[in-house]
Amino acid sequence: MIDIKILRENPDLVRENIKKKFQDHKLHLVDEIIELDNKNRSVKLNGDELRARRNSLSSQIGNLMREGKKDEAEKIKLEVQEINNKLSENEVLENKYSSEIKEKLMKIPNFLHPSVPIGKDDSENVEVEKYGDPIVPDYEIPYHTDIMESFSGIDLDSARRVAGNGFYYLMGNIARLHSAIISYARDFMINKGFTYCVPPFMIRSDVVTGVMSFEEMDAMMYKIEGEDLYLIGTSEHSMIGKFKGQILKKDELPCTLTSYSPCFRKEKGAHGIEERGVYRIHQFEKQEMIVVCEPEDSYKWYDTMWKYTVELFRSLDIPVRTLECCSGDLADLKSKSVDVEAWSPRQQKYFEVGSCSNLTDAQSRRLGIRIKGEKSNYYPHTLNNTVVAPPRMLIAFLENNYNKDGSVSIPEVLRPYMGGLEKLEK
């Protein structure tokens, strides 16, 4: 949510940013918010004048009663009552305008960082750098579910009978590999100085609307029927929500947390050959990282965070690249974002395995998170980044460590989490 002062003082800047996001259908919101803001400020001024008048009259009542002028005091009491009635009506308008302004402001996209490339969708994202050599072996790499099935490691048919499409049973060493990757990612981030956390897996609606746009909420979140609770789509949601309504001390910053959680998402995505298996699913597990920091430090943390993901994937012998997300591919609250993509030797292309985003003060404004300043409080910046999400990581891991004889090599860093195994063998 942007600062309404910017919209008052430079509405053209807001309009230009909306156009860069290719969201011209939202341009009308600028004029609507300005009109509502003018009405709201007028109503507030009227309320201040009414309260000042009431206070003046109230002081007169006491003086008149002491002087024995009861009739005059009673007349003034009637006038005070009339002012109270007007104030009640005024407060209804104040609440109405404030609510409408907030609702519309939350639909305005965050300001893009100047370095963000302008483009309509993810097809116009820009490759930044590659890490590791993308190798295509001289033998066939099976589809990832076929590799898992060769180790009796996945049961999709049973999952369909139990929960429908978009779910899975992981079994045996494949399930163990899944847990090993999560555990390794957890320790990797702890060793980077992040505090480990297991957050709530359900959050209230005021946290949901604080951490994401309405469009994302409708497309992603599962609501618990009959309760004001939603299943999280990523632990970032409840991790940032942890600071809701808090005033943080400067010496407490930065807050660097890494979290484990299951994740639940409604949208399964498009259908096709790459949509079967465990690429797009309703339920998965994830290791996440978030940072809450001073505004001037956020882009330093942004670069640090995505580099951690690259480092983790390279430690598992997986080539990756980074893509700068263009303006049209950024969710409304994001100011800048980079995707980390892993190499698929089977498909001979890269695919997304994580995303790092700087949301500047968009989430902290919505959630009322502030830093205690010397003269006044101000909003921190919030960032989030995927450490690893094993279903997609499993695809990248199995393909890049698959051997000609059908075995899968276990990189050295992962062996302690796999009971010392050096290979998965049929």
Q: What is the pLDDT of residues 362-408, one digit of tens each?
A: 999 999 999 999 889 999 999 999 999 988 899 999 999 999 999 99
Q: What is the DSSP letter of 49?
A: H
Q: What are phi and psi of 355, to 5 degrees?
A: -150, 135
Chain-wide mean pLDDT for the chain? 92
Q: What is the DSSP letter of 412?
A: G
Asked which of 24-28, 41-45, 240-244, 383-387 is least confident by mean pLDDT, the reply is 41-45
Instruction: Point out which residues pair with 388 in neighbouring strands.
Output: 287
Largest CA distance in the chain: 107
DSSP string of 221-270? PEEPTTSS-EE-SSHHHHHHHTTTT-EE-GGGPPEEEEEEEEEE-S----
Kindly tell me if the per-residue pLDDT of 68 is higher than 80: no
Kindly tell me if the per-residue pLDDT of 271 is higher than 80: no
What are 48's two structure tokens?
Answer: 């201040």
Kindly tell me if the per-residue pLDDT of 275 is higher than 60: no
pLDDT at 276: 63
Q: How would you classify residue 368: left for phi > 0, otherwise alpha for psi between -120 and 50, otherwise beta?
A: left
What are 26's two structure tokens?
Answer: 């939202």
Three-class DSSP category at 271: coil
Q: CA-CA distance, 124 to 203, in Å (whole number)?
A: 34
Q: Are 369 and 246 in contact (CB under 8 A)?
A: yes
Quick: pLDDT tens for 210-223. Answer: 998 877 888 888 99
| pLDDT tier, 267 (very low <50, low <70, confident <90, very high otherwise) | low
Q: CA-CA distance, 199 to 196, in Å (whole number)?
A: 10
CA dihedral of residues 237, 269, 111, 350 (deg, nearest 10): 100
| pLDDT tier, 426 (very low <50, low <70, confident <90, very high otherwise) | confident
pLDDT at 309: 97
Quick: pLDDT tens for 193-250. Answer: 999 999 999 999 999 999 988 778 888 889 999 999 999 999 999 999 999 999 999 9
pLDDT at 53: 86
Instruction: Point out which residues pair with 344 in neighbouring strands.
Output: 349
Q: Are 319 and 337 in contact (CB under 8 A)?
A: no
Q: CA-CA distance, 306 to 20, in Å (whole number)?
A: 24
Name which of 311, 203, 316, 310 is nearest 263 in CA terms. Answer: 203
Quick: pLDDT tens for 127-172. Answer: 999 999 999 999 999 999 999 999 999 999 999 999 988 899 999 9
Single-letter code of the amino acid located at 194: F
| pLDDT tier, 336 (very low <50, low <70, confident <90, very high otherwise) | very high
pLDDT at 262: 94
Kindly tell me if the per-residue pLDDT of 272 is higher than 60: no
Domains and CATH numbers, the chain: 4-105 (1.10.287.40), 122-424 (3.30.930.10)
